[in-house]
Structure 1
Amino acid sequence: MSRRQRRRKPAERGVVDIADLASNARGVGHVDGKAVFVADTLPGERALYRPTKRKKSYEEASLETLFSASDKRVTPRCAHFGVCGGCALQHAGEHAQLEFKQQQLLDALERVGKVTPDTVLAPLVDARWGYRRRARLGVKYVPKKGGTLVGFRERGAPFIALLDRCEVLVESVGTRLADLAELIDGLSIRERLPQIEVAAADNAVALVFRVLDEPTAADRERLHAFGARFDFSIYLQPGNEDTIAPLDDDAPALYYDLPAWNARLYFKPNDFVQIHAGINARMIDQAIELLDVQGHHRVLELFSGLGNFSVPLARKAQRVVTVEGENGLVERARDNARRNGADNIEAHVANLFEPPADAPWMHEKVDRVLIDPPRSGAAEMLGAIAATGAERIVYCSCHPATLARDAGELVGQYGYRLTHAGVMDMFPHTAHVESMAVFVKEG
C-alpha cells in the first residue's frame, strides 16, 4: 500500500458518551483517557463519531450516528446547519443554549479571575431569528457549483457555503441570498467582488459591495435596479473603508432608535453597532439601572463608540465623559450628542490600549464608569479606572476569558467587589458569549 493510500484510509469510528460542552459548543467526552470533541452533540448523549483530527491528548470528530438524544435537543431550523459555519447551537433548545453560555461565563470567572459574583443576573433575551443586523458575507464565483456563492464560510473550511437563505440575518437580507448571487453572476466584475457588508438600520438596509475592479456603467445600472427592486441602499467600496460611497446620491442617512431614551443614533454602513437591536436596547437599560446613575453623578464611559450608551446616560447623569479610539466614531458620537440635545456629553479620542497619562479625563474624579471593550478586554485601563475613585463600574464584555482576567484584577488589586454578572444572548444559536458584570468599591 502506498503512503498516499494509507493517508486516505478512513479514520476508525468510535462511540463516546458526551459529558459537557466545550467553549466552541462541541460536545466533549472521553475515550481511553483521551478527550473527544464531537460537533452537534449535547451532554447526556451517546454518539458514534468519526475522527477528523487526531492529537496526542484529544481528537476532533464529526457526528455519525446518535444512539441516544438529550431532551434538550431540537430540530435545527436552518437547512444548512452543520455545513455553514455561522451557527453552532441550533440543535439545542433556547434554555440549553442559555445554560451553556451562563456556565461559560461563571466557569471563566472562577477559573481565570478566581472570583464569583454575589448575584447571577437573569439572561437578557430577545428575538432568536432574523436578528442579525450587521454581517460580512463572503462572495465567490465558482462555475463548478453553478455560479456565485454568497454567504458565510463552511464550518471548519475556508470555502463559502452554498446557501439559499440565512435564518439569523435580518429577513430582508437572509431571504435574498439567491437573488444576490444571481445579481453578481450578471456583473462583469463577478470574479473581483469578494464580500458584501450588511448594515441594517431602522430606516434602511445598506449593502456595501467590495469591488476590486471598477464596475462598468452596465454593472452600476444592474446594481441600481437591484437596490430599487428590494429596497436596499447600495454602496461600493473600491479600497479601504474610507472609500465607501453610496451608489446613488439620495441614499438615506442610517439610524436606529432607542425609544425608551428618546434617542436616535446615526451611523455609517461600516461603523460598529451592536448586532442584535433588541438585546442592545435591553443591555442599555440594564447597564444604566445597575450603574445606579443619579442626577448629580459624573460618568466616564470608555470604548464609547458612536454614543450607544452615552446619549441614554446623558439623560440621567450630570455629566458624561466618553473616550473612544477611532476618530470617525468620535465624530459620530459628537454629532449624535448634538442631534439628541445631550450637551452634557464631552467626547474624547484616545488609544485606550496605550492610555495617555496627560489626558485631563484620566485625572478627574468620577462617580460611575461604564466600559464596553473589544475581545482583548480593558487590562491597560484598570489602574486608571480605579484611580478615578468610581464607586461603581459596569463592564460589558464580548469575551468571558478577558472579562474574568480583568475582574480578578479589579477585585484582587483595586478593592472592588463583583456584585453581579450575567449573560446577554446577543448571538443566539452561536457559541459567542456576551456578558455584563458589576463592580462596587469595597468600604
Structure 2
Amino acid sequence: MSKRRKRRARLPEDLVEVEIESLSPEGRGVAHHEGKVVFVDFALAGEVVEFKYSRISKKFDEGRAVNVIKASADRVKPICEHFTVCGGCSLQHQEHEAQIHSKQDALMQQFQHLGQVEPDKILPPLRGPLKHYRQKARLGVKYVFKKEKVLVGFREKGNSFLADILNCPVLHESVGLRISDLSDLLIKMDAKATIPQIEVAVDDTKTALVFRHLENLSDNDKSALIEFAKKYEFQIMLQSGGPDTVTALWPENPPALSYTLKDQQVTIEFQVNDFTQVNSEINQLMVTKAIQMLELKPEDKVLDLFCGLGNFTLAMSKQCAQVTGVEGGESMVIKARENALRNNIDNVEFFAADLSKDISNELWLNKAGVRQKYDKILLDPPRSGAMEMLKYIGKLKAERIVYVSCNPATLARDSHVLVHEHGYTLEEAGVMDMFPHTAHVESIALFTKKLKKS
C-alpha cells in the first residue's frame, strides 16, 4: 500500500441523537454534535433524529437520519418509493409549502450575508405542477452483470452508483412511467453494456430520447429501438460522440421540437441538446413576470444578456422598439435568429460574445466609439453569475434590470455590486418553484434606478 494513501477514518456504528437546527442550502439538516457541525440527510429543522455517520472530516461530519424521534409538522410521506435511495430529489419528505418557505429564507439569507442588501418587497412565489414537471433530463444507464439487469435513472444519494428505480414521479409522464420499460428494452440489446446514458427532451407534444452509444449498434438493436419508439410514440436519436454526432433513428426526418409561450404567442424550436428550461409551466410564468417587472414601453431598447435561443428576447420584442440578445455560443445565436424569422419578428438582433470576458469592444456595446443606450436589461446568467458584466451594466445606466438566477449565492454577490457600487435599488425579489422536491433555488429580482433627465 502506498504511504501517500490516507486511511479512511472508521465510522462509528452507534446511532447518535441530535436536534436539527436548520436546513443547509443543499436541503440537509444542520446539527452540532460534540462541538462539530453535522449535515444530516432526510432531517428537517426542529426535528430530533437518530443518525448514522456516512462521512467524517476535519471541519464537519455527514450522516443519514435513521429514526425520527420528534418529527417536524412539515414532515410528509414522500411521493416516490425510491426517495432516500435515488439522489434526484432531496426534499420529498418536506411539505411543499414548507419547501418554498425554505427556499425563500435561503434567498433572503444570501441577500443579507453576501449582498448586504434586502429587497423592498418579497414577491409571491411562482408555482407550478408538483409531479411530472421535468421535461429535460440525463438518465444514467448501467448494465449489472451479476443481476443480469440494466439500471436506468439517476445516481444514488451520496455516491456514483445508479439507483435501481422502476419509475420517477418528477420526470414527464412519457418517460417517468416508462423507466422499467426502458430497462427491459436495454437488457435485450447487444449493446446493453456500452450505452452509458439517455438524454430526455420533451416539448409541447413530443418526447425525444437520445441514446449515447460507445460502439456501433447492430441492426437488431436499431430494430428494437424503432419498435420501442413506435409502441410508446418516442422520437429516437443516436449519439456516438459529441453533440454534433446526434442523428435521427426514428422517424428518419422527425418534426422539430418546440414550445410555445402562449402569453406572448411565440414558438421556439430547439434541438435535444440545447439548453431549455426543464419546467415549461414555470418558464411561461417566469417570462410573463419578467416582462411585467421591466414595465416595457413601445419606445424602449432592451438588452437581453445570456439570451440562449431567445426565450426572453422574442417574448419581449412584442412590447418594445428593439431587443438585442447576446449569447456565448455562435450556434445558439444562429438558432435564435432562425426562431425570430419563424415568428416573423424583425425588431431583434442577436450577437455571440463570451460574457465572462472583456467585451468592451463589442458592437452591441459600442458603435463607432459611442456607448449604446439601453433602457431596460434582462440577465439570465449561468450558476457562476454575471460579475464580469456588471462593470459594463453600471455604465449603460438602464432604469430597470431584471435578474433571473439559478444560484442565490451569485445573485446576492452581484446584487451587492449593483446596489452599493452602481446605485441601484433592489426593489423586489422572490423564488420560482422550477424544481419542486429539490433544494435548487430559482429566483428573480428587480433592480431600479431613478435617472436624471438630460
TM-score of the pair, normalised by structure 1? 0.97
Say whether 1:314 aligns with 2:317: yes
1:40 is matched by which residue type in structure 2?
Answer: F
Deviates more, 1:6-15 or 1:228-237: 6-15
> Which residue of the partner structure matches residue 75 of structure 2?
73
Structure 2: runs of 5+ lacking an equivalent: 1-6, 366-370
> Which residue of the partner structure matches residue 301 of structure 1?
304
Say whether 1:218 aligns with 2:220: yes
> Which residue of the partner structure matches residue 420 of structure 1?
428
- Are the structure 2 counterparts of residues 334 and 33 from structure 1 closer, same or farther at C-alpha, using a change threshold of 3 Å? same
TM-score of the pair, normalised by structure 2? 0.95
Say whether 1:369 aligns with 2:377: yes
- Are the structure 2 counterparts of residues 232 and 31 from structure 1 closer, same or farther at C-alpha, using a change threshold of 3 Å? same
> Which residue of the partner structure matches residue 276 of structure 2?
273
SS at match of 1:144: coil
> Which residue of the partner structure matches residue 175 of structure 1?
177
> Which residue of the partner structure matches residue 283 of structure 1?
286
> Which residue of the partner structure matches residue 3 of structure 2?
none
* Cα separation, 2, equivalents of 1:27 and 1:241: 39
Measured against aligned partners, the alpha-carbon deviations of 1:323-351 in whole angstroms (never above 9, x if no partner) come to 00112211111111111111001011111
> Which residue of the partner structure matches residue 58 of structure 1?
60
Distance apart, 1:12 and its partner CA: 2.9
Measured against aligned partners, the alpha-carbon deviations of 1:9-47 in whole angstroms (never above 9, x if no partner) come to 753321111111011111112223222211111111110
> Which residue of the partner structure matches residue 211 of structure 2?
209
Contact kept, 8 Å, 1:49 with 1:63, in 2: the verdict is: yes
Say whether 1:347 aligns with 2:350: yes
* Cα separation, 2, equivalents of 1:335 and 1:424: 29
Deviates more, 1:398-407 or 1:327-336: 327-336
1:187 to 180, 186, 189: 189
SS at match of 1:191: coil
2:439 to 427, 431, 441: 431
CA RMSD of aligned residues (A): 1.4
Say whether 1:100 aligns with 2:108: no
SS at match of 2:68: strand
> Which residue of the partner structure matches residue 379 of structure 1?
387
> Which residue of the partner structure matches residue 260 of structure 1?
263
- Are the structure 2 counterparts of residues 8 and 37 from structure 1 closer, same or farther at C-alpha, using a change threshold of 3 Å? closer
Distance apart, 1:361 and its partner CA: 1.1
Contact kept, 8 Å, 2:418 with 2:424, in 1: the verdict is: yes
Contact kept, 8 Å, 1:204 with 1:252, in 2: the verdict is: no
* Cα separation, 2, equivalents of 1:116 and 1:356: 30
2:392 is matched by which residue type in structure 1?
Answer: A
> Which residue of the partner structure matches residue 338 of structure 2?
335
- Are the structure 2 counterparts of residues 391 and 156 from structure 1 closer, same or farther at C-alpha, using a change threshold of 3 Å? same
* Cα separation, 2, equivalents of 1:67 and 1:19: 15
Deviates more, 1:139-148 or 1:403-412: 139-148
* Cα separation, 2, equivalents of 1:403 and 1:440: 15
SS at match of 2:92: coil
Distance apart, 1:413 and its partner CA: 1.0
2:326 to 309, 323, 328: 323
* Cα separation, 2, equivalents of 1:6 and 1:59: 13
Measured against aligned partners, the alpha-carbon deviations of 1:40-98 in whole angstroms (never above 9, x if no partner) come to 11111110111111234422111121111111111001000000000000000111100
Distance apart, 1:161 and its partner CA: 0.4
Measured against aligned partners, the alpha-carbon deviations of 1:212-234 in whole angstroms (never above 9, x if no partner) come to 11111111111111111100000
* Cα separation, 1, equivalents of 2:307 and 2:208: 23
SS at match of 2:373: coil
* Cα separation, 1, equivalents of 2:245 and 2:80: 35
Deviates more, 1:181-190 or 1:84-93: 181-190
* Cα separation, 1, equivalents of 2:443 and 2:133: 18
Contact kept, 8 Å, 1:263 with 1:340, in 2: the verdict is: yes
* Cα separation, 2, equivalents of 1:370 and 1:57: 39
Distance apart, 1:394 and its partner CA: 0.2
SS at match of 2:157: coil
Contact kept, 8 Å, 1:417 with 1:442, in 2: the verdict is: no
1:408 is matched by which residue type in structure 2?
Answer: H
> Which residue of the partner structure matches residue 251 of structure 1?
254
Q: What is the percentage of aligned positions where both structures have the same residue?
A: 45
Aligned ranges for residues 237-248 of structure 1 at < 5 Å? 237-248=239-250
- Are the structure 2 counterparts of residues 8 and 265 from structure 1 closer, same or farther at C-alpha, using a change threshold of 3 Å? same
Aligned residues: 439
2:84 is matched by which residue type in structure 1?
Answer: G
* Cα separation, 2, equivalents of 1:252 and 1:6: 53
2:362 is matched by which residue type in structure 1?
Answer: A
1:357 to 357, 360, 363: 360
2:406 to 381, 395, 398: 398
Contact kept, 8 Å, 2:21 with 2:31, in 1: the verdict is: yes
* Cα separation, 1, equivalents of 2:61 and 2:240: 43
1:294 is matched by which residue type in structure 2?
Answer: K
Measured against aligned partners, the alpha-carbon deviations of 1:261-285 in whole angstroms (never above 9, x if no partner) come to 1111100010000010010000001
SS at match of 2:378: strand
Contact kept, 8 Å, 2:11 with 2:56, in 1: the verdict is: no
SS at match of 1:315: helix
Contact kept, 8 Å, 2:11 with 2:55, in 1: the verdict is: no
> Which residue of the partner structure matches residue 198 of structure 1?
200
Deviates more, 1:10-19 or 1:42-51: 10-19
